[in-house]
Amino acid sequence: MIDLFSGLDAWVLVSLLLALAFVLAFEFINGFHDTANAVATVIYTKAMPPHLAVFFSGVFNFLGVLLGGVGVAYAIVHLLPVELLINVNTGHGLAMVFSLLAAAITWNLGTWYFGIPASSSHTLIGSILGVGLANALINDIPLADGVNWQKAIDIGASLVFSPLAGFIVAALVLIGLKWWRPLSKMHKTPDQRRKLDDKKHPPFWNRLVLVISAMAVSFVHGSNDGQKGIGLIMLVLIGIVPAQFVLDLSSTTYQIERTRDATLHLSQFYKRNSDTLGEFLALGKSVEGDLPEKFRCNPQQTEPTITALLGTLKGVADYHSLPSDSRIEVRRYLLCLDDTAKKVSKLPTLAAREKADLDKLRKDLTTTTEYAPFWVILAVALALGLGTMVGWKRVVLTIGEKIGKQGMTYAQGMSAQITTACMIGLANIFSLPVSTTHVLSSGVAGTMVANKSGLQGGTVKTILLAWVLTLPATVALSAGLFWLASKALGS
């Protein structure tokens, strides 16, 4: 790892270390900001002592990051338009990374300080959108092209749908438990259990389910939220030291050949569908400019891009053998080909079977560009895991006592946690970032309604206000910071 950073100018190295520290600080804050939600019910119900709950939650968050893959990480990265991703200027990368991280950290710390279960996912997404929109304004790019709006809509839908689903499903689970065991002790609150049964802890089986489901929430939280930090670090590395990280230098000869084969098959795919795609891709025609511009992708330059990529990769068995400029070009070609393929797959004239083939080709194309070194995953896992062990008290009280007008029962805690673990696990399968905070707090609210406990209007309004304000606040903050940083670098 150390040799990857050798030969860097001192200012670049210092900037890189600062940027990495910012990302890890964001993940550390994410740990004690969001993971309080993962252990809130298990601590409030006295199923586990706080120190044990927080420790094991940290361990399972750590494991979740290690085993979670990078699908969600690149879903976050691709919120930015491809034109911004292929701009690997060091100064530009610094401005982008520091702006979005400063905005995200500021909002996260503010909401944590006031004990508001706000969402780190919303915070990060708003910050990224702000950078994309500011970049569009600075470079006279239409706002419609300043952000990958389709990806933003997909992620936005998951962030909106998941809390609603959490509310409904958790309520239904609780109703099912009440129907199945209406007289069970699991329907008591910790205070009722202590006063009526003179017992401090939940009944054994309820306690076991609470502990297992809390650890499951911690694991899926790590596998979902941890990937956001991985995506941020890859943005940092590609933006500041592109020669070392634009491609996975540890790629095997087989992986490189797979990329080359995917490019060949892509060319054959387009020729096979030339009747429907010929005009869109300008197949067989000469177009202005042989290759994609340095900071722009054009579908009509697909054929020369494929030719250039195949020429650059000819005989290459190890990416280390490519000069640094060639590595940057290869990544630019691959990103533009993937971007064009994504646009082609959305054309209504293309048959469903052909779209399925194209999706498989896209996965092979991005094998060596959508990756994360193990040390990056390990660093994020440690930051998130250690952050979990700090600062949990502020949010536990909100989740346990301030959402409903009555304290939470054991059955409510189990319902909310099981629902949260399943919802986030499902989101991981589809590589969609979701908010642990909003899914769990919505699940608790759903159980309060199902239990006819009522909701505390003040707390619910505060949570909803944070939910509504997070995106516009972080968009404005990161956009302003990026504009100031870009002006400073340009002056």
Q: Is 363 within the bounds of a domain?
A: yes
90 has a pLDDT exceeding 80: no
| CB-CB contact of 310 with 266 (8 Å) | no
- In terms of domains, do 309 and 379 share one? no
Q: Is 469 within the bounds of a domain?
A: yes
Give the DSSP letter of residue 401.
Answer: I
- In terms of domains, do 120 and 241 share one? yes
Which residues, at least 6 apart from 382, have a Cβ–Cβ distance to it below 8 Å?
A: 62
Which range of 30-44, 165-179, 239-253 scores highest in mean pLDDT? It is 165-179
* Alpha carbon 48 to its chain's center: 29
- In terms of domains, do 352 and 383 share one? no
- In terms of domains, do 234 and 269 share one? no
Q: And the tokens for 49?
A: 């002592």
CA distances from 223 to 66, 228, 263 (A): 8, 9, 31
Q: Is 1 within the bounds of a domain?
A: no
43-45-48-54 Cα dihedral, nearest 10 degrees? -10
Sign of CA dihedral 162, 164, 166, 169: negative
Decide which of 367, 387, 413 is a domain's last residue.
367
Decide which of 351, 367, 383 is a domain's last residue.
367
pLDDT of residue 208: 94
Condensed to tens digits (0 to 9), the pLDDT of residues 318-364 reads 999 999 889 988 998 999 899 899 889 888 888 888 888 899 999 89
- In terms of domains, do 430 and 393 share one? yes
Decide which of 313, 345, 367 is a domain's last residue.
367
Cβ burial 223-234 (10 Å sphere, 16+ → b, else e):
bbbbbbbbbbbb
- In terms of domains, do 65 and 177 share one? yes
- In terms of domains, do 196 and 298 share one? no
Half-sphere exposure at residue 460, Cβ-oriented, CA atoms within 13 angstroms: 15
Q: Is 404 within the bounds of a domain?
A: yes
Sequential DSSP letters for 439-451: HHHHHHHHHHHHT
Report, as an integer, the average pLDDT of 238-257: 89
The pTM is what?
A: 0.83
Please state the domain count of the chain: 2
Region of residue 48 (phi > 0: left; psi between -120 and 50: alpha; otherwise: beta):
beta
User: What percent helix, strand, coil does the chain show, rounded to 5?
Assistant: 75, 0, 25
Which 3 state secondary structure label does DSSP give 404?
A: strand
Q: Is 3 within the bounds of a domain?
A: no
Measured between alpha carbons, how far is 472 from 13 in angstroms, rounded to an integer? 33
295-298-299-303 Cα dihedral, nearest 10 degrees? -90
Residue 481, domain extent: 8-245+374-489
What percent of the chain is modeled with pLDDT above 70?
86
- In terms of domains, do 388 and 414 share one? yes
Q: How far apart are the first and last CA of the chain?
A: 34
